Amino acid sequence: MRKVNEQIVDNANGDGSGVPDPGPGTPGADGIHFYPLDGSGEDAVGNNDATLRQGAVYGPGKTGEGLVLNGAGQYADAGAALLDTSKYYTAGAWVKLNKADGSFQTFVSQDGDRDSAFFLQYSGQDQRFAMSFPGIQALSPTKPNPGQWYHVTGVRDVVKGELRLYVDGQLVAAKSACTLDSSSTGTTVIGRAKFGGNQVDFLDGTIDEVHLHDRALTDAEVQALYESGR
């Protein structure tokens, strides 16, 4: 677990209350970056197209095509830090696992110096979906089934000081995480994580419709995104 820092002070709103300013963020359901993954790594909202690494390919997805990964080094790289991970953000995607065993598999993350700033993932240790910081996890209550599509969304809410995890539009877990140093400037990636300076936790499965938001989506917004199928 990373050291406690002065994040709350750094994000203070300037009125003397010491309360973080949530800010409006960018409105809209598609967020600041959206990867439909329909046969390309095009960023349909922003300007950071993703590049496939290590032979990753496209195949049948949740909607149209998706990114098919073999769990052995394949992923997609956005080439930049797309989220300010010291603040509020949301990452979501449709995922289908080929296996649900003791291996960690990460869907979306952003590289830090040694570890990812966050991990939207399948936790092999717990055999559950998770929204994680190093040392802290918001865990789903049930084990996912291989071969089944799930919509998985992770939220960092600076105002409430928590991580939230949603599965198929429903809030399934929340964990206090207000004082962790979660800033990072490394690249945002789809299908892997970084831990101890190494690339790890490669996804063995298919991922589709990846959204990144610079705000903490509400319960209703996550539900609407799930119901939209994208």
> Which CATH number belongs to the domain containing residue 183 in this structure?
2.60.120.200
- Average of per-residue pLDDT across 148-170: 95
Rounded Cα–Cα distance for residues 202 and 199 (Å): 8
- Please tell me the predicted confidence (pLDDT) of residue 185: 81
pTM of the model: 0.88
The answer to the question of residue 139 being in a domain is yes
- Please tell me the predicted confidence (pLDDT) of residue 182: 66
Are the C-beta atoms of 72 and 192 separated by less than 8 Å? no
pLDDT above 60: residue 74: yes
- Please tell me the predicted confidence (pLDDT) of residue 6: 32
Share of the chain above pLDDT 70, in %: 87
pLDDT above 60: residue 131: yes
Are the C-beta atoms of 184 and 111 separated by less than 8 Å? yes
- Average of per-residue pLDDT across 161-181: 87
The answer to the question of residue 166 being in a domain is yes
Number of domains present in the structure of the chain: 1
Domain that holds residue 107: 31-228
Contacts of 185 (CB under 8 A, 6+ apart): 81
User: What is the b/e burial string over 47-72, where b = at least 16 CB atoms within 10 angstroms of the residue's CB?
Assistant: ebebebbeebebeebbeebbbbbbbe
The answer to the question of residue 20 being in a domain is no
- Please tell me the predicted confidence (pLDDT) of residue 25: 80
pLDDT above 70: residue 18: no
The answer to the question of residue 4 being in a domain is no
- Average of per-residue pLDDT across 169-178: 90
- Please tell me the predicted confidence (pLDDT) of residue 207: 99
Rounded Cα–Cα distance for residues 67 and 84 (Å): 25
The answer to the question of residue 109 being in a domain is yes
Contacts of 150 (CB under 8 A, 6+ apart): 94, 95, 96, 129, 144, 167, 168
Query: Residue 70: helix, strand or coil by DSSP?
Result: strand
pLDDT above 60: residue 157: yes
pLDDT above 60: residue 212: yes
- Please tell me the predicted confidence (pLDDT) of residue 179: 58
Are the C-beta atoms of 31 and 44 separated by less than 8 Å? no
- Please tell me the predicted confidence (pLDDT) of residue 128: 98
Please write the tens of the pLDDT for every residue from 29-48. Answer: 889 999 999 999 999 999 99
Share of the chain above pLDDT 90, in %: 77
- Average of per-residue pLDDT across 83-110: 97
The answer to the question of residue 38 being in a domain is yes
Picking from 48-52, 149-153, 176-180, which range would have the lowest pLDDT averaged per residue?
A: 176-180
- 226 compared with 15, residue with greater pLDDT: 226
The answer to the question of residue 21 being in a domain is no
- 8 compared with 133, residue with greater pLDDT: 133
Contacts of 6 (CB under 8 A, 6+ apart): none
Burial of 120: CB neighbours in 10 Å, binned 0-12, 13-18, 19+: buried
The answer to the question of residue 2 being in a domain is no
